[in-house]
Structure 1
Amino acid sequence: MKKRQVVMKKDCTGGKNSTTSSSMVRTVRYVECQKNHAANIGSYAVDGCREFMASGDEGTNGALLCAACGCHRNFHRREVETEVVCEYSPPTFND
């Protein structure tokens, strides 16, 4: 199965006298579990867990274990969404 990364970008180009600032917002989600539970018998079977749910608070060991299937977070497919937010100030014209 291929890994997929979702990237959304906006063009932040401006004129000579314009002011443009941008910031990047990155959101990471862990979705379906891909752990092969039948690897020891030479087959392939997944448990059907559809989304990672941390079993503990952030900063604890439980934050890395899924409450639904008990697997480590690394077994879940990672989706990264990146968004570039641009702020544009139009140029001022002084006559």
Structure 2
Amino acid sequence: MGPQQDPKKASSNGSVATKEKVVRYRECRKNHAANIGGYAVDGCREFMASGEEGTSDALRCAACNCHRSFHKREVETETVCDRSSISTSRR
């Protein structure tokens, strides 16, 4: 899944700030031994989509064949400030 952007927001000093959200799916947490009362994970370290975005295969991991929801989800949010829109003229 690629970066998602929130709408631009103007601040009091005239600069424009955008929030960029990057979502990554890390190690697989599926318990393959749950049906026998145990705990065993497959060792898959990071989600890799099996197909193109927009298809059902995009939600299945190419490495472990599990659904993306079994993988640990990490969200990184970064605020980017565009200072090029600030007026430099003095009044």
Q: Classify the TM-score, shorter chain.
A: 0.7 to 0.9
Task: Give the one of 55, 69, 81 matched to 1:74.
Answer: 69
Name structure 2 gaps, 5 residues minimum. 1-9
TM-score (norm 1): 0.76
Task: Give the one of 30, 34, 50 matched to 2:29.
Answer: 34
> Considering only aligned residues, what root-mean-square deviation do their CA atoms show, in Å?
1.8
Partner in structure 2 of residue 24 of structure 1: 19
Following TM superposition, the consecutive aligned residue runs of length 4 or more in structure 1 with deviations greater than 6 angstroms are none
CA contact (8 A) 2:11 2:17 kept: no
Higher RCO, Cα 8 Å, sep 6+: 1
Partner in structure 1 of residue 3 of structure 2: none
CA offset at residue 90 of structure 1? Answer: 5.7
CA offset at residue 20 of structure 1? Answer: 1.6
CA offset at residue 13 of structure 1? Answer: 6.6
1:83 maps onto 2:75 in alignment: no
**Distance in 2 separating the partners of 1:85 and 1:56:** 31
Q: Which structure has the bigger radius of gyration?
A: 1
The total of aligned residue pairs comes to 80
Name structure 1 gaps, 5 residues minimum. 1-11
TM-score (norm 2): 0.79
CA offset at residue 93 of structure 1? Answer: 1.7
Identity %: 60
